[in-house]
Structure 1
Amino acid sequence: MKILLEELPHQLEALQALDEAFYGLDERTTDPDKDYVYANPIIKGRGNENTNIDIKMETGTGKTYVGVRAMYDLHQKYGLFKFIVVVPSPAIKEGWKNFIEADYAKQHFSQFYENTQINLNVINAGDFNSKKGLLPAHLVEFIEGDRLNSSTIQVLLINAGMLNSASMKKDYAQTLLSGWTSPLEGLKATRPIVMIDEPHRFPRDKANYKSITAVEPQMIIRFGATFPDVKVGKGRQASFVKDYYRKQPQFNLNAVSSFNNGLVKGIDVYYPNVTETESKERYVVESVTNQQLVLKHNSTLYTYGKGDDIGFDGDIYYEGAKRLSNGLELEKGMSFLPATMTNSYQELIIRDAIEKHFEAEIPNFMRENEYQPKVKTLSLFFIDSIKSYRDEKGWLKELFEKHLRRKLEALIREFRLKKLPREQEYLSFLQATLADLTENVHAGYFGEDRGSGDEAIQAEVDDILKNKEKLLSFKDGKGNWQTRRFLFSKWTLREGWDNPNVFMIAKLRTSGSENSKIQEVGRGLRLPVDENGHRLLQDELPSRLRFLIGYDEKDFANKLVAEVNDDAVVKLNESKLTPAMIQLIIEKTNNLDEETLLGQLDAASIIKRNNDFKENGFEKLIELYPVLTEATQVKTGKITTGGPKNKQRIKLNKENWNKMRHLWEQFSNRYMLEFDRINDEALQLLIDEMIRDKDNFTLQYPEFTRNELYYNDENGEMRVREQKANYDSRKPITGMKYGEFLLKLTQRTKLKPAQLHKSLLSALKETYGGNKDYLNELTLSNLVRDFKDRFEKRYAQSYRYHPLEFQASTSVFDVMKNDFKEDILATIIGINEDSDIVDDGRQLYEIPPLRYDSMKPERELLKYGYGSNILSFGKLPKKAIQVPKYMGGTTTPDFVYIVEREDKSHVYLLVETKAEGSGKRLSDEQIVAIQERFFGALKQYGVEYQEATAAQDVYDKLRKVAKLNDK
């Protein structure tokens, strides 16, 4: 199994933002060392704080990918080739190392950066040999790498503690070719670009950050989900704000966007209940030293010395060194319930965790049909006591194996009765798991494992840390099942370690401290990959993380939601319409300016003249502009307490659905797209048209910005007016070399170089007088966009649908039972709801509430008083029909109507809606064209189709199809 990296839109946006924030090379520098072969070219503004760049990306969205690809990009565009990656811990260092060295990563990047490679140099503790006066070989290799090898990027991977060590500052007997004997001086001379991972671990007033600036980087790029805080003001007026280089990140993919746009898994939080009496028995650590522990219960203090039994069920005593005998590390202010610290309570969590694992594993293995690749399911356990797992007779290990064995035996009995090939395959997987239970099914990684010398433990650690593909694979090269999928750790597997197929995390240790909740669930947020290494987006596999914790953290979900919402760029103010809220509405709404918006809100009695909200004004604003909550708050259902049982489900009105049974049996058929072959002559004609279009070729001019100072009469202060972009029209930017431009055009259009060369060279000579300044990034973008537009328009008509000889279930129809489902998740119908409606018996679901996505036209259509000839109607859930798209994936219309005609025959009207004023993208046009073609071939079944941007479009179509003369 090989992981297949893909270009995800948000990662490309991060790279584009980084490139736009980079000031470029200093072509006018007078530095006498500008051509020093061991150093990077000199960049504009080198060493200035405003040159530095912050890239903020939520955990699980691909920060390492963006960081590594940024190196390739900066090398290709600007010749930068020396990068120092600074990380806060060995685990994070291992994550970077594994990714950079992975074959799948090298293969992926080679598509875009041909013949370019990274020479990775990793510095570890103990690499310096002071006795012999020798420098680490990797350090020497990095410093002495030169520009002459133009296809190699030199990367030094190091943790900040090593940068700050005395070994980096002393002189050695060994002299580098570049003339330096001190590692630090040698690193300075390379004029490095420094990348920092997990920037919140490097506050700028701390020693670790100062050791980074000691290498005198030309520019620092920070990648992180969280950034350090900086204190602003003094005394009671003081507050903390995020410390960004340029006051804000140059790219900001925050937690709200990540959850709402399906870039990470949803989360279901579970905890076992305790009795009401037990829930009140809370103890707080009043103080703790190596020799003494003081606990506070209500107002009473209890003092324990080293070795004293603290009296909780489970034979727990104070071990000393700020830890209990069960391995719990203590700190002042930590609170816990005695009931949650017992073995019986942890057994309850283990049993629940195993159940939750298989709730995810079985559907991930089965998928919707046996033609879809399987998905390996992993579970992660965080524990207090390492001995309870590592000891030969460790109670936790024995407890886990006992409950897992019981579950496996029950599932094996169940699947022996099943007959489908995928079910029989899963039976084999279960049997192999049971046979392998004590050897390979589960594994642990703890800090003390490093250097233990135990070969078996080291093999476990290597599998967890380094062999990601093995953990994600179902079988090895010999066809044997890979059964390992339960991992145990003690917070060691946190930042820096990732495996996308973690679907369950069980926290058997007490937290107590106010750690970042997102960091705690972070190991399970990444979207999964299937057995072929393909990353599965939420519309391909709606995946969720099951997070099991103790009762003492029963408010975890609320705190997590609050933390996610607090990460939003714009904060909602429920008493006043703020400038930030106004700007957000304008940005997300077409054809609207501030004056028009305020006029509308004033007329609707939502705001006062000073923009304060009138009574219920905030609620009215949210209803009118739901984009405010969509952009600033995590959607309902993305993070839940209690998991599926708390997910709202909508019951189908099966009487109405059965009126369309024969139609849905037809929709359950799978279809194959058959494309016409486009010959080389036709393709060449398309290329010629693209090249001949003079609008595609343009000169690119340098851009500069200007700050305008003005005097503020209100407070007498000087202010900086908003920056304005200006263009220097005197001299265009020098274009690319012809070969470079042709190569980029080839890569981005996937066309043959010979085909492009024939037209491009002729046009350059004959139309543009051989002026290569036309070969720039703007021209390149214009040509790529034009080619795709022309290709889509012609290619979109060059395919047909052919039914296959098998069926598959949809979101509403189960082909195995040959029946409609009883209920479905409410969120796949719509994200909003309206309870103000009376059920007249014609809706597709039992109501209230109505579920919908847009106010207009969707809610209008659902609440309209239709005539008696409309027998049934309603909004279709996602994937109810699954029409294949020629660009990949499937599409389903938004509405269906059953219309009774004058002769009592029935017509089925399928409607694709588009919210009013939202504009139409090319992809929307393609979807409509696809649906028109697909449903146009089903007219013999009474199917009609309509695109609607307004409710009136639907009403007009309904009147038309109801008439016999329109049949």
Structure 2
Amino acid sequence: MTVNLLKRLESSVASFRITLKKLQQIHLSTLGRIENFRKTGQDGTFADISATFEDASPDEDLEFFDPEEVPPDQQTGGKVNIQLGDMDLASWEHDLKADLGLIETLLSEMEKVSPADDAKLQHLKEHIQAKIEAPINPGNRKVLVFTAFADTADYLYEHLSPLLRERYGKRVRFFIYNSKELHELESFSADAGINVMVINAQAFNARGKDARRIYEELDDFQTRRPIDVIARNRPILILDEPQKMEGAKTVESLKEFKPLFILRYSATHKQEHNRVYRLDALDAYNRKLVKKIAVRGISLKGQAGTSAYLYLQGIDVFRDKPPVARVELEMRRASGIKADTRNLAKGDNLHAKSGELDQYKGFVVSDINALDNTLSFTNGVVLSAGDAVGDVNETVLRRLQIREAVAAHFEKEQQLFAKGIKVLSLFFIDEVAKYRVYQGDEAKQGEYAQLFEEEYNARLNEILSLEDSKYNQYLRGIPTDRTHEGYFSVDKRSKRLVDPETAARSTESDDVDAYDLILKNKARLLSLDEPVRFLFSHSALREGWDNPNVFVIGMLKKSDNTTTRRQEVGRGLRLSVNQNGDRMDDPATVHELNVLTVVASEGYKEFVAGLQKDIAAVLSARPQKADEAFFTGKVLKTATGDVPVTPQIATMVTAYLLGNDYVDDAYRITLYDIGGDARVNGIRFDEHRTEPWKLGWIDVDIKLGTIGGRKR
């Protein structure tokens, strides 16, 4: 049922609304039948119509029946007769009411989506208007629009027809194909004006015993076949969600329309064709449709000859005093040796600071460099921000990651709380046992849950103040054990959380139970009244399982090749919403509010380079190298006029880029940073700690053959 609901939503918001309303009616009717049975003991049998929904083909319209209206002859043949006396009515009624609440919440959200907000509808308008105003074959203004569901066709007709008629007057005819009203098709063919016909796939996609009238010679159509009449017009076909129309039978059926050409509109093409419009990852960022990405990387550095544990959290810079380094090291205390954070200045001796622990002999701070975020000691050890050295096992690494994620969460929460934006953090782990373990019938916290609560409480104590602010009240009102939750599959028999199964050659799990919880509770998770703010879940996620208010992602797992960084980061890229459900997409502030922080289990540069590689693999074709061939023929915009880039100028430009390390030996753009604005191969990333690997920088903006360069 979940899949078919998503298919309806993918088709159009109108189809989804219709389906939700029908499901709402079915639930209300069923609850009424249960209540009546309790009172009278009568009317205790009705048909289960779920099979109608579950078995729906992508190209079929879903038929829904009110349980009270299902005729007796439809109560067999796949539908199960249900005796209410055999049912656990209390549990069923509880589940129905829970579903009804979800349906009503979804309906409320769908009502907010107006035609003006429907991007697919707006793009379709643009395509049709382009055909009308600049037809490829003069005089032919006929357009066919294909859709999987009839009610989507009704929706398109309702909102396209008035617009086109208003804009183009009497020249527009817009109608929905109906095999019983073939006079509309007659006019479509005979009229020399603008004609738009909407037809759903099931009208032409069946043969044999189920042959559609569109392929029959009809007496009431002068013994002609409707498909032949359409084909003689050489129409332009516009396919909505074409990946659903790529079956061999459908492809052959489309050929019978003899289209002049086909426009395929989808976000998830399975087969590449000639692209005329794109909106890929980079386009989405540039148009401010997704969050910015910030990265906090942690690198494990092997240092020969030392077992001293050190973690450089960052370098703090001040106006009136030298920079200091925030370092975690082991400290001797009365209760034993524990790790603690200290601010170190030049000349500090770690042996003395640690309580004279032997492993820190020779560790005296020789330099703190705020330009490249490094800390140097007199014994030759050099750390960069995010580096951890010494006795660092996986538990220590995960603790550091959780600490950074919790810190990032509180920073973002303090910024957004007053704006009514709920901040969520998502931890990816590779097995349930890391979060929850079972001893007999008792469930206990796993290793990561314990580490989280320790780090959360430590950070919370630093954040809380005596001030009686609304934010302090909010934090004090949330028990630590209720602010995090695990979302995993649930074993039907044991009711325990279990690891999801991932199919062969797949990066997505069948973790339906887990993410039904996230999807069904999405509205509740976005509410500040809901205490859960930190989510632990499996890394193998199915597309669509995300939440707009995820601002922090922690990778508490070993790197693998099954799930790309792009897939993982994608779970938090949607723009956030406030308590009223308003999306935070004001162009002036969208990237100030919407920043996704990723706490990686590898170094910053390694993660960014890997993410860039993943993104580049799915981006539309773009120049990959800043070599002479790329620059030659471009035009430089200067104060004195345009300057064409000759091969000689191109050679000078590439030599400068290569000599200043803006490109590598293969002329690929290298990673650089200025003021926290880090990029790799043109993809922008914002990092928690500024790491200017290069002192100079050049920003090259390429638009329509124009290059504008500036050096700072």
Q: TM-score if structure 1 supplies the norm length?
A: 0.35
